[in-house]
Amino acid sequence: MRKPWLYDERLKNPNMGRIVYQVILDRFVPSQKLKEKEALYAYPRKLKSWTETPKGGVFLEDVKYWSHELDFYGGDLESLMTKLDYLKELDIDMLYLNPIFESLSNHKYDATEYLKISEEYGTQEDLKRLAQSLHESNMRLILDGVFNHMGVGSTYFQNALDPNSPYRNWFDFNEAYPEGVRLWADAKSLPELNLENEAVKDYIYQKDTSVIKSYLKAGVDGFRLDVAFDIGYDILKELTTHAHQEKSTALIVGETWNYPKRWLNSMDGVMNFTLREITFGMVEGTFEPKTVNTLLEKMVTDCGIDGLLRSWNILDNHDTVRLNHRLNKENQALAEVLQFTFPGSPNLYYGSELGMTGGNDPENRAPMRWDLNTVENERLQWVKKLIQIHKQETALMVGDYLPISATKLVAFERYTDNVSDTVLVILNPTEASVTERMMVQDSSLMNYSKFDTLLGEAKQVSLIAGLLEVTLPKKGFVILKPRTQIEKSYTPYKRV
């Protein structure tokens, strides 16, 4: 039984089906105050030219970092705020910032103190102003929470090196470990926190003065949790519960390179890397269309629509090669159509909408190419069109998912209680034109129904007795919407 109120409730939920935009603060907008901040980039740091491409470096034994981790370009919170109009024009809903907490590196996954903003990025007041400005434009602010490990320079860790320190149990010291302490991914600069310790829990999320609750009080709207798979189901559940106690609309999304199902019991959503792998398998030909349909349906059935709607549909980010680097134009379009139509929140990585390229870290973390932001940029116009369609169609934002019985094409329906919201998504990832007649198991779609094309192109579309026939060119796609309005005096949709 369909529930009319359900879709209204989902639409009111600020975390469902929204557009997410990811930014590395140092690389987004150059500061106008670099002369004043010059001392903040002293050795072992280095300030680079905005037009210089990031390159791999050498390991610096004295500080236990790779040199490219300490290359900076000078962006900060204040400079970011000069480009909020760009984010408004894109029509994003959430701004997600890579870590901004105090640390030595440019990536900030090595926090020395979570309750401080890294000085070269600004201050707590700058962060509050950013949150307020975003809220005034109906956008929300998500921070990167790196709570599995800290930086080797943390005062907590340096204090814990004393066996008699009260912070000793904040970390896992063990002579059996190569460095005498448990490290994340064996990186010498990243000692892991002992998250089972109640004092650590108090510091991160339990107390009113904890890191998570303090930032939520300051106007932040949620956290993307780094390496959430390392934090574990139970602690993630506790953390999420405490975040919701502070702010009921807070969003906790985890980086889990795992199947989403069980993680969605512990957090609001995940970064859906399973969908990413299925997408690349589809466009690169390692999965046949029939297999893609099976995998997508299985994921929705297993994980539930609500958890997926709060999850982020991701194709590239700071840990992967850029989308424009990996896929050609045809495959990129197919991948993004799926990204913007499958249940979830499409996640954009800064600059990819402009056509920025880049291989593995650090090339994929280059400074923003503002010179590409022009009305002639076809790539930008394409992404804006995808955002527009996603946000104007209720079914794509918050609708349910219905598989279509296709074997040669990838096909599914998104729907609500209102048949006029229905959207059909059909993709042909193969190298040949395909005609397929497939069953659409939606009794409200009428015989001989006409369809409007929201995006893409189909050579023929016909619906007879629940059987939809479509012809798509190679690497083609189409997003269809049934025409339910009265054309003259009659419509078969009048009572469904």
- Report strand pairing: 59-60 vs 65-66: antiparallel
Contact 190, 149 (CB under 8 A): yes
- Token pair, residue 36, equals 């004043």
Give backbone dihedrals phi and psi of 106, rounded to 5 degrees, phi first. -85, -25
Per-residue CA distances from 31 to 37, 77, 121, 461 (Å): 9, 9, 9, 53
Neighbouring residues of 3: CB distance < 8 A, sequence distance ≥ 6 = 417
Long-range contacts (CB closer than 8 Å, 24 or more residues apart) made by 114-120: 114/147, 114/204, 114/211, 115/211, 115/214, 117/77, 119/40, 120/26, 120/37, 120/40, 120/41, 120/72, 120/74, 120/76
Contact 236, 249 (CB under 8 A): no
Neighbouring residues of 306: CB distance < 8 A, sequence distance ≥ 6 = 10, 16
* In 421-489, beta strands by DSSP E: 423-427, 434-440, 451-456, 460-464, 467-472, 477-482
Start-to-end Cα distance in the chain: 13
255: annotated active-site residue = yes
List the catalytic residue out of 226, 268, 316, 421.
Answer: 226
List the catalytic residue out of 255, 268, 393, 400.
Answer: 255
- Token pair, residue 119, equals 């000085």
- Token pair, residue 443, equals 């009794």
SS3 content of the chain, % helix, strand, coil (to 5): 35, 20, 45
Neighbouring residues of 315: CB distance < 8 A, sequence distance ≥ 6 = 276, 279, 323, 335, 336, 339, 347, 349, 352
Q: From CA 42, how far away is CA 360, in angstroms rounded?
A: 26
226: annotated active-site residue = yes
CB-neighbour burial class of residue 480 (10 A; exposed 0-12, middle 13-18, buried 19+): buried
Residue 91 CB: number of other CB atoms within 10 A? 15
Q: From CA 196, how far away is CA 116, in angstroms rounded?
A: 24
* In 74-186, beta strands by DSSP E: 94-97, 101-102, 113-117, 140-145
Query: What 3-state class would DSSP assign to 436?
Result: strand
Active-site positions?
226, 255
